[in-house]
């Protein structure tokens, strides 16, 4: 039984970067993975593309022949893909039991109310794939209350439209410290509760929101989101392996990969990782790592990398015969404490440091 991630989200949310990073991460842990590009406008993929929709139809061709703009051309291309699903089915058959990442277009219409992409997903599911939708959102949206509420609505609409297991992900969380300060701690935004606390901040953002009609509209939108109770967020710093592993654990639980599938579907290294609970990072740790104490953590990790490089160089000089990489190195790295142990002004709540007993 093959598994797949369907990566959607608005333009600039980091879909292609995510597919590239996830492909590299899965390769590092020994999980065979392929990436399928479903974006007819993406002519420069940073990842090795196992199957590219542009070999079926391109956005430039559609715009020229049908006299359509970029958005209309993308919708037309997805309809072409739906009508020529045999092409996709034959391409997927060649990938065997590979874990597949589908890099989808960024036009929000295709995953909020247009039916073709949803129909393609359902037909992929009928091929035997266990699917998880990943809806990516740039974490910059947290800096403006109105933008955050809009992102909540978009995520909710995508969940209702796709009707598949879905995780909403705040990407570029490592960039968040470079923006203006947040009104609340990170857990407020990821857990999506008590949204009425946003109303005073909406009014501060713009005097327009102080008008009675907008105040009533904001309250109605917030009540709608809370009444559904579906939206929550994971976080991701795509270049951080701890963050990638934490997200992949959540994806595996949502899609059933953690419970196994076809014989040999779960590789040994990942079974060890899931069984041993290598990652224990929760949203408070994300807050501390990327917002409260980022500089200290960056310095600590830099020193760790330098020590690791020195250790590897010394080991190579002593044992020149190279051993094949079985994925255990990344597991050893993940098992090491990822917090500074020399004080450094950082307080770690759940991990005992060397000074804890004093």
Quote the CA–CA distance of 152 and 149 in Å, as a whole number.
Answer: 5
State the pLDDT at residue 296: 86
For the segment 277-289, the average pLDDT, to the nearest whole number, is 74
State the pLDDT at residue 7: 97
For the segment 260-268, the average pLDDT, to the nearest whole number, is 50
Is 174 or 288 the better-scoring residue by pLDDT? 174
Inform me whether the pLDDT recorded for 342 exceeds 60: no
User: For residue 183, what is the DSSP state?
Assistant: S
* pLDDT confidence band for 317 (50 / 70 / 90): confident
Quote the CA–CA distance of 1 and 261 in Å, as a whole number.
Answer: 5
Is 16 or 284 the better-scoring residue by pLDDT? 16
Return the H-helix or E-strand segment holding 340. none
Is 269 or 291 the better-scoring residue by pLDDT? 291
Is 206 or 150 the better-scoring residue by pLDDT? 150
Strand 99-103 to 49-52 pairing: unpaired
Q: What is the pTM of this model?
A: 0.82
Inform me whether the pLDDT recorded for 126 exceeds 70: yes
Q: What are the Cα distances from residue 75, in Å, to 71, 89, 195, 210?
A: 6, 20, 34, 38
With beta carbons less than 8 A apart as the criterion, state whether 261 and 130 touch: yes
State the pLDDT at residue 322: 52
CA dihedral for 201, 202, 203, 204, sign (positive or negative):
positive
Quote the CA–CA distance of 89 and 81 in Å, as a whole number.
Answer: 11
State the pLDDT at residue 307: 82
156-166: buried (b, 16+ CB within 10 Å) or exposed (e) per residue?
bebbebbebbb
State the pLDDT at residue 280: 62
């Amino acid at each position: 039984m093959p598994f797949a991630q369907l990566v959607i989200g608005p333009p600039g949310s980091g879909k292609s970067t995510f597919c590239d990073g996830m492909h590299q991460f899965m390769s590092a842990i020994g999980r065979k993975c392929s990436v399928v590009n479903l974006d007819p406008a993406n002519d420069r993929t940073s990842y090795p593309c196992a199957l590219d929709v542009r070999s079926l139809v391109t956005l430039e061709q559609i715009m020229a022949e049908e006299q359509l703009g970029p958005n209309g051309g993308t919708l037309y291309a997805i309809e072409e893909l739906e009508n020529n699903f045999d092409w996709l089915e034959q391409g997927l058959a060649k990938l065997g039991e590979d874990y597949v990442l589908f890099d989808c277009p960024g036009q929000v219409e295709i995953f909020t109310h247009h039916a073709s992409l949803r129909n393609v997903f359902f037909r992929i599911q009928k091929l035997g794939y266990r699917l998880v939708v990943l809806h990516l959102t740039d974490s910059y949206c947290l800096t403006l209350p109105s933008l955050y509420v809009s992102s909540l609505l978009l995520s909710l609409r995508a969940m209702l439209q796709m009707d598949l297991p879905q995780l909403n992900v705040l990407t570029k969380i490592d960039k968040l410290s470079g923006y203006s300060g947040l009104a609340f701690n990170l857990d407020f935004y990821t857990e999506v509760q008590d949204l009425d606390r946003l109303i005073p901040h909406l009014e501060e953002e713009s005097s327009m929101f102080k008008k009675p009609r907008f105040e009533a509209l904001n309250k109605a939108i917030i009540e709608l989101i809370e009444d559904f109770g579906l939206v929550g967020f994971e976080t991701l710093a795509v270049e951080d392996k701890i963050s990638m592993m934490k997200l992949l654990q959540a994806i595996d639980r949502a899609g059933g990969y953690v419970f196994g599938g076809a014989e040999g579907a779960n590789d040994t290294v990942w079974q060890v990782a899931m069984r041993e609970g290598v990652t224990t990072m929760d949203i408070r740790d994300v807050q501390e790592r990327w917002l409260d104490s980022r500089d200290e953590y960056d310095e600590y990790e830099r020193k760790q990398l330098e020590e690791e490089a020195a250790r590897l160089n010394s080991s190579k000089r002593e044992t020149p015969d190279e051993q094949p990489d079985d994925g255990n190195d990344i597991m050893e790295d993940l098992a090491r404490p990822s917090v500074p142990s020399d004080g450094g002004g950082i307080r770690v709540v759940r991990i005992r440091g060397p000074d804890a007993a004093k």
